[in-house]
Amino acid sequence: MMDPSVKTRIPSDGEPSRILAYWSPDDVVAVWNNLAKGGTEIERAPQSPGAAHLRAAWLGPPSAPRLRRVAPLEQVDGYGVFTFPYGPISMGVPEAGRFDVRTYGERVLDISPEVGFKARRILSSVAGLTIEDAALRIERLAGPFSAAHVSAFLAATESAAGRGISAREAWIRALAQELQRIYNHIHVVARVAEAASQNVGLAQAHALAEDVLRLMGSTFGHRWLFGAFLPGGPPTRLGPDDRVALAGTLGRLSKEFERLWSTFQTSRTFLDRIQTTCGVSREETLRWGAVGPTLRATGVAWDDRLRSPVPPYTDLFLPLATESSGDALGRVLVRVLEVRSSFLLLEQMLERWPASGSTQLPASEAIAPGRGVARVESPSGDLVYDVSVHDGRVGRVSARTASDANWPLFALGMRDAVFTDFHFAWESFGILFAETDR
Amino acid sequence: MDAFSILLPIAVASFFVGATLSVVDRRWAYGASLVGAALLVLVAIRVIVVGSVTGGGWSGPFGEPEGLSMDPLSAFFALAAGGVWIATSTYSIYYDDRPSPLLALTYAVTLGSIALLLTASSFLLFLVGWEAMTLGSFGMILQASGRPMRVFSAAFVFLAFGEASTLFVFLAVAGLRVASGTFAMVPVALSVPLAGFVFVSGLIGFGLKMGVAPFHMSEWLPIAHSSAPSNASAVLSSTLTLAGAYGLFRLISVLPTPPVWWGGVMLSIGAISALLGALFASVSEHSKGLPAYSTIENNGLILVALGVALVARSESLDVLYVFALFAAFYQALAHAVAKTALFLSAGYVEHATHTFDLNVVRGRAKDDAREAMIGAIVAPLSLAAAPPLAGFVSEWMILEALFQSFRFSPPAMQFVGLLAGAAVALAAGLVLVAMVKYIAFSTLWRPSAVEAGDRPPGLGTVLVALAGTIAAIGIAAPWILRFLTPSVSAFAHLPVTAPVSGLLLIPQGWSIVSGSPFGILSPPAVPIGLGVGALLGLVYYGMGRNRVTRRTVPWMAGSAPGVPGETYGSFGYSTGIRVMLRSVLRTREVRARSGPVTRAELLTPVAYNVELEVLDPFKVFYDALVRFATATSAAMKQGIMPGRIGRYLAYLLVATLVVVVYIALAV
Amino acid sequence: MIHVPSWLQLAWERGILTTKYPFEPARPEEVSPAGVGPVPTSPLDQLTDAPARCPTGAITLDAVDQGKCVRCARCLGAGFAFTGPVESSEARRGDLVWAGGRPGAQTNDGPLADLGRSIHVYLVDVGSCMACNLEVLALSNPYYDSQRLGIFFTNSPRHADVLVVVGVPTEEMVEPVRRAYEALPAPKAVIAVGACAIGGGVFAGNPGLKGALEQVIPVDRFVPGCPPPPVAILHAILATMGRSRTPPGGR
């Protein structure tokens, strides 16, 4: 069952029916089942070199070698061409992952990220655990995106059980996600500023990000929101007085962010450095199934909070941020606009906070067996969880994270760039190795 | 008539005797060349110390006396040429292991012709030597390895440029003859237009042989394109161009006081050549192409120094005139020795790895021939002007001379001097890139999987001797400059004193002084200072305690080091220059699919082949010229002369030979 | 006309944010609630409910292993509190195990004391969720400003004195992290940051993982937490330099 409104949004050259990222949850399940049974639904997609990538992104590689390359676009050879290995340990990308840069010096002919260095086998190890214990691991899958991952995972189990949640619970999840989105977007601005040696701006953005972390710590009892939505987690402080204080702090942070960004906008060196750097086209983001700010920076108005809305987003005003340039500046601008819209969402939430509702999950035994899919807009884009539940315990869990989807776009954008573009490009995508090595 | 008058013709003759004996055994040719070179050096030293030598004389075809003689000016060039021939001939005995004697034959003929033109007492005999040199070199290039068509085409290009050179030299000599009525090498009073004609013809003719812009194709193409044998490359690059420089020096020494534009033109051509040569050297991956481009740079520097000298002479700046002349002489000497060593080391690399591709060679760090490595490191360092080596002294002198272009009175000349100074400084920087690349990827770094070939014995000794010479020429520069004073004096037709003085604690005569005084440098003090510093460091190191040396693998961002295909090559080392200077180098990337598009390709990575090419702007011009000539010839062939092109070519060659033989017999 | 503030003005108006730690104890917001470990409020053997609640086995009837604790807070309802004197880094793994639920004596050997007042730090991720990485990198933000204490981040282990390792070591990262350890010039130190590096955290027992960083390279300092707050990491780095002052939690 295809959502007709989705179909019409995609231009004809993007082969709408083949681009999984834009399918409704029901369609996702249908395709997923087909693929799991060995179907070739995607492979028939053709003329699209993205098909193999999409398949791997959703299902994992067929026989799971421990280390694998994502987004292999080309095999470049020629006189003087060699591989420049970058990683798995480097301070420029402070995560365990490697890039094989094909180059003849100076210029990037092809870049292929290699993942699997930090595969912790999280999704395969949660089978058989209670939902709370599984969530404890899933929130540590990617720390900066923990709220999105746990929300999607819990929503998938709830969907499997056919169970609704209280309004208050939904609002707490949304509040946490928006706070974490603000943190991540400011962090991206800080990292790009660092690559551009904008040291004052870097320090100010870093300080602002730390402010947000401390705000999350004081509100949810954990700077990274671990355990925040789980029964028995650290105590949340969202009483009426706390909400007033929270709104006050958010207002101050919002003003400081505006000042910071307006000062960034006066720095020609900063803007010039990221403008036209690592650009990808609208056609490429559609064809390769990009999500999140990467997609929206090429002018595609897609955001799960609007396209597959769940409460409280159904009741809130959310301006959708898009840019058309598709370069690093475009992605940074989208993030800046989203910081604004998240502040706006938080303001609305705190004003219209639901009066009552339980924050307690029902005991695990109450959950009926079944299978569910849920998707949320993580800071870097669409995140999908597919969870089956048996006997109150978690069965098979699969996920397609934003990082999975955006790898090829990073590789495409880096083609023909020079080495020094690397950090601007990398930081602007907001890809985490941790999200792919799950 | 003393013993040296007899030694001089014996020296020249021994090369040709050797060429004849090469039919018996190729080693005879090299042995006889070695003897001839040694005798030449002996005579040259005697001429510089005591005075001119005349040996043999007969009546020429135009009723003029012809013969062999050597004055201090030709003695300088004979000394430099003979010196490096001792090295190349010794090297060749080990290097040349071909069954055919043709390389040895043409080698000896080329050397003999150069010796002849250096010792010719008249311009007529000089021309004979000049033409014979071209033909001999042509023969040497034909012995190159590689595909026959490629070799022939390279040799033919060389011949074309060589004949063009002879033509212009002939015009210059004819101009002189018209004005003076003689071929003798004496100062001539010429009218201003005629002097200008002779100067321009000479500059083009000799410039063609020196391989300066825009004629640099003649230098690098035969060497790089066809991979000429290493001993041939060394002769082509160091002494053939030295012969060109000699011709230019000799011609200018007989011309009257130059107008200021002569120097200006020379300065400009020299600076452009230096920059172009350095630029293309830095992006060359050919173990002989890189030194060949470096030759273009060095000959450009000779022209720059000579240009400054000429302008200074026009402006009556006597101190600068003499200093710039010394700089030009020193540059010629330093280049001849260092470039010979560089080509011989390239031959060594070729022998050890069977390739000319620096990207493939990647160094010989595990090679056991340490003594050969010394030569392969010292020679490029000297060309990169590293103290205290020979190239450092000459480069310093040239830059010092250029710094004084503010003394020129016409603003245009000051401007030219300024631009030339900037170009030479930039060239020095680019040459550093080129030479560091050469040292790293021919010698110092880890070898790739290239199999080591046979290593002829004896090559290393020659390279060590040359390295020692390079260091000596650098360190002992003040004394060598004083030794060369008679040669400079013979050029300038003036009594001159070497620009040597003292400074502070450094003894009198240990320093070179530019201007009166402008800048000062003490070459012997440099190694002394370095030595003292090193000694202090050693003492400090010796005093330290608890020294534990722990060896670990290189840090490669956590990846395993030493994976084949995951290391920088020489191409990558200089791609920065290719990309940054793409507007000058006309850099373009050629991308092609490695194979046809297949169904599977839609699901697997697409394979591409990528080449990054650079383009010499002048080559575009010559290619167009060649296309035009080819098209015209084709039209002529079909329209006017529907015969066989081979016969015409044979006719041309035979005719040239007949003329040469006629002149030789007439002599 | 819109007034555009300059960088200077912006920096001036935000003022000094930097923590007083280590010269004064860290303030509560610097040691976030979950940044400190669980402390039993009653004798351990009376809290029979707690061991069952603990998902990582950090709580037993006779000891609390701060190195295994991931700060999930499930024990808070069973006689534990996230308050009180808490040590924030230890030189020996055993010192993280609080016999009877109370901390033992702090050992402090400062392996890099010879280096004086400046130290260079290299961060290595061997399998983290990125939270620990960001907490380590947060040391350079104006709130913690590690440079004022002579602590600098380098881009190569060749220039570093101390390796800060985060994450649970995967088999793939064993060789790379050993290479990084080899590349460090002596004298050198290794700091294991976070529950994952100390003992695997919530991922302990997953296939393909080494249980602890100690099994791969020698470790000189352990910083418990999931993730530890930046001040705790700061304390660990200072302690390896022999400049340990008051731990963030007081004591």
Residue A249's pLDDT is 95
Kindly state the greatest CA–CA separation across chain B: 89
Question: Between B548, B555, B560, which is nearest C183 by CB?
Answer: B555
Structural domain boundaries of chain C?
1-26+88-251, 33-87
Chain A residue numbers with beta carbons less than 8 Å from the beta carbon of B611 are 78-79
List all residues 6 or more positions away from B574 whose beta carbon is below 8 Å from its beta carbon.
A105, B282, B283, B433, B434, B437
**pLDDT over 90, % of chain B:** 42
Nearest to A216 by CA among A169, A256, A166, A177: A177
Phi-psi region of C144 (alpha: psi -120 to 50; beta: other; left: phi over 0): alpha
Give the amino acid at B59.
Answer: S
Structural domain boundaries of chain B?
1-231, 257-497, 502-543, 581-613, 619-666
Q: Any idea which of A6-20, A298-312, B356-370, B595-609 has the lowest mean pLDDT?
A: A6-20
End-to-end CA distance of chain B: 22
Dist. CA C81–CA C73, nearest whole Å? 9
Identify the bridge partners of residue B59 per DSSP, sorted by sequence position. B65
> Does the pLDDT at position B336 exceed 90?
yes
Chain C residue numbers with beta carbons less than 8 Å from the beta carbon of A260 are 10
Instruction: Write the pLDDT tens digit of every residue in B51-104.
Output: 888 877 777 777 788 889 999 999 999 999 999 999 999 988 888 878 888 899
> Does the pLDDT at position C35 exceed 60?
no
Distances (CA, A) of A261 to A267, A292, A324, B146: 10, 21, 20, 64
Q: Is the CB of residue A201 less than 8 Å from the CB of residue A266?
A: no
Residue C150's pLDDT is 93
pLDDT, mean of residues B248-254:
94
**Residue B547 is encoded by which pair of tokens?**
């020294």
Mutate to test the interface with B, among A81, A108, A110, A418 (most CBs of B within 10 A): A81
Higher pLDDT, B206 or C108: B206
Dist. CA A151–CA A165, nearest whole Å? 12
Dist. CA A318–CA C51, nearest whole Å? 45
Question: Between A89, A94, A262, which is nearest C137 by CB?
Answer: A94
Q: Which residues of chain A have pLDDT under 50?
A: 1-22, 40-51, 62-63, 363-365
> Does the pLDDT at position C108 exceed 80?
no
Helices B459-475, B72-95: crossing angle, 10 deg rounding = 150
What value does the mean pLDDT of chain C take? 85
Residue B645's pLDDT is 67
Among chain B, residues having any CB pair with chain C shorter than 8 Å are: 548, 550, 552-553, 555, 558-560
**Do A82 and B569 lie within an 8 Å CB cutoff?**
yes
What value does the mean pLDDT of chain B take? 85
List all residues 6 or more positions away from A15 whose beta carbon is below 8 Å from its beta carbon.
A45, A47, A48, A287
Residue of B nearest to A55 (CA): B603
Chain A residue numbers with beta carbons less than 8 Å from the beta carbon of B359 are 79-80
Query: How many CB atoms neighbour CB B543 within 10 A?
Result: 7
Q: Is the CB of residue B294 less than 8 Å from the CB of residue B580?
A: no
Chain B residue numbers with beta carbons less than 8 Å from the beta carbon of A52 are 603-604
**Do C182 and B553 lie within an 8 Å CB cutoff?**
yes
A80 interfacial to chain B (CB closer than 8 Å): yes
**Do C70 and A226 lie within an 8 Å CB cutoff?**
yes
Dist. CA B523–CA B530, nearest whole Å? 11
Question: Between C74, C128, C205, which is nearest A434 by CB?
Answer: C128
Identify the top-confidence range among A294-308, B322-336, B627-641: B322-336
Question: Between C74, C77, C173, which is nearest A88 by CB?
Answer: C173
Residue A19's pLDDT is 43
Residue C61's pLDDT is 85
Chain B residue numbers with beta carbons less than 8 Å from the beta carbon of C124 are 558
Dist. CA B28–CA B13, nearest whole Å? 14
Dist. CA A373–CA A388, nearest whole Å? 9
Residue B484's pLDDT is 94
List all residues 6 or more positions away from A17 whose beta carbon is below 8 Å from its beta carbon.
A2, A7
Dist. CA B78–CA B52, nearest whole Å? 13
- The dihedral of CA A37, A41, A44, A49: what is its sign? negative
Helix/strand/coil for C119: strand
Domains of chain A as residue ranges with CATH: 122-401 (1.10.645.10)
Q: How confident is the model at residue C161 (pLDDT cuts 50, 70, 90)?
A: very high
Instruction: Write the pLDDT tens digit of every residue in B136-156.
Output: 998 888 888 777 887 888 888
Q: Is the CB of residue B493 less than 8 Å from the CB of residue B313?
A: no
- Chain A closest-CA separation from residue C35 CA (Å): 8
Phi-psi region of C242 (alpha: psi -120 to 50; beta: other; left: phi over 0): left
List all residues 6 or more positions away from B39 whose beta carbon is below 8 Å from its beta carbon.
B7, B8, B10, B11, B14, B82
**Do A75 and B359 lie within an 8 Å CB cutoff?**
no
**A350-358: long-range contacts at Cβ-Cβ below 8 A with a sequence spacing of 24 or more?**
A350/A243, A350/A246, A350/A247, A350/A250, A351/A247, A352/A315, A353/A171, A353/A238, A353/A243, A354/A167, A354/A168, A354/A171, A356/A168, A357/A166, A357/A167, A357/A168, A357/A169, A358/A166, A358/A168, A358/A169
Dist. CA B130–CA B244, nearest whole Å? 9
Residue A9's pLDDT is 32
Identify the bridge partners of residue B591 per DSSP, sorted by sequence position. B610
Q: What is the 3-state secondary structure (H, E, C) of C27-79?
A: CCCCCCHHHCCCEECCCHHHCCCHHHHCCCCCECCCEEECCCCCCCCHHHHHC
Question: Between C53, C176, C208, which is nearest A88 by CB?
Answer: C176
> Does the pLDDT at position C178 exceed 80?
yes
Identify the top-confidence range among B494-503, B515-524, C213-222: C213-222
Higher pLDDT, B144 or C121: C121
Dist. CA C219–CA C213, nearest whole Å? 7
**A246-254: long-range contacts at Cβ-Cβ below 8 A with a sequence spacing of 24 or more?**
A246/A215, A246/A219, A246/A350, A247/A346, A247/A347, A247/A350, A247/A351, A249/A215, A250/A215, A250/A343, A250/A346, A250/A347, A250/A350, A251/A347, A253/A182, A253/A208, A253/A211, A253/A212, A253/A215, A253/A343, A254/A340, A254/A343
Instruction: Write the pLDDT tens digit of every residue in B650-667.
Output: 778 888 888 877 776 665
Q: Is the CB of residue C205 less than 8 Å from the CB of residue A133?
A: no
Nearest to B431 by CA among B350, B522, B325, B335: B335
Burial profile C106-122: b = 16 or more Cβ within 10 angstroms, e = fewer = eeeebbbeebeeebbbb
Dist. CA A191–CA A430, nearest whole Å? 10
- Chain B closest-CA separation from residue A307 CA (Å): 30
Residue B637's pLDDT is 63
**Do A222 and C127 lie within an 8 Å CB cutoff?**
no
Query: How many CB atoms neighbour CB A267 within 10 A?
Result: 16
Chain A residue numbers with beta carbons less than 8 Å from the beta carbon of B433 are none
Q: Any idea which of A186-195, A314-323, B107-116, B218-227 has the lowest mean pLDDT?
A: B218-227
Dist. CA A411–CA A425, nearest whole Å? 10
Q: How confident is the model at residue B375 (pLDDT cuts 50, 70, 90)?
A: confident
Distances (CA, A) of B453 to B340, B350, B376: 22, 9, 18
Phi-psi region of B560 (alpha: psi -120 to 50; beta: other; left: phi over 0): beta
Distances (CA, A) of B456 to A137, B102, B233, B364, B448: 68, 20, 18, 15, 21
Mutate to test the interface with A, among B433, B566, B602, B614 (most CBs of A within 10 A): B602
- Quote the Cα angle for A11-A14-A18, to 5°: 120
End-to-end CA distance of chain C: 55
Residue A26's pLDDT is 56
Pairing status of strand C119-125 against strand C151-153: parallel
pLDDT, mean of residues C241-250:
70
Give the amino acid at B413.
Answer: M
Residue B153's pLDDT is 80
> Does the pLDDT at position B369 exceed 50?
yes
Question: Between C6, C126, C202, which is nearest A137 by CB?
Answer: C202
Query: How many CB atoms neighbour CB B648 within 10 A?
Result: 13
> Does the pLDDT at position B631 exceed 50?
yes
Chain A residue numbers with beta carbons less than 8 Å from the beta carbon of C167 are 96, 118
- Residue in the block written with tokens 């002569």: B262
Query: How many CB atoms neighbour CB A356 within 10 A?
Result: 7
- Chain A closest-CA separation from residue C216 CA (Å): 15
Q: How confident is the model at residue B201 (pLDDT cuts 50, 70, 90)?
A: very high
Q: Neighbouring chains of B at 3+ CB pairs within 8 Å?
A: A, C
Q: Is the CB of residue A299 less than 8 Å from the CB of residue A283?
A: no
Chain C residue numbers with beta carbons less than 8 Å from the beta carbon of B553 are 179, 182-183
**Residue A256 is encoded by which pair of tokens?**
């400081």
Q: Is the CB of residue B129 less than 8 Å from the CB of residue B166?
A: no
Residue of C nearest to A183 (CA): C134
Mutate to test the interface with A, among B284, B359, B575, B612 (most CBs of A within 10 A): B612
> Environment class of residue A114 by beta-carbon count within 10 Å: exposed (0-12), middle (13-18) or buried (19+)?
buried
- Written out in words, the top-level CATH class of the domain with range C1-26+88-251 is alpha beta
Kindly state the greatest CA–CA separation across chain C: 70
Residue A56's pLDDT is 57
Q: How confident is the model at residue C173 (pLDDT cuts 50, 70, 90)?
A: very high
Residue A12's pLDDT is 33
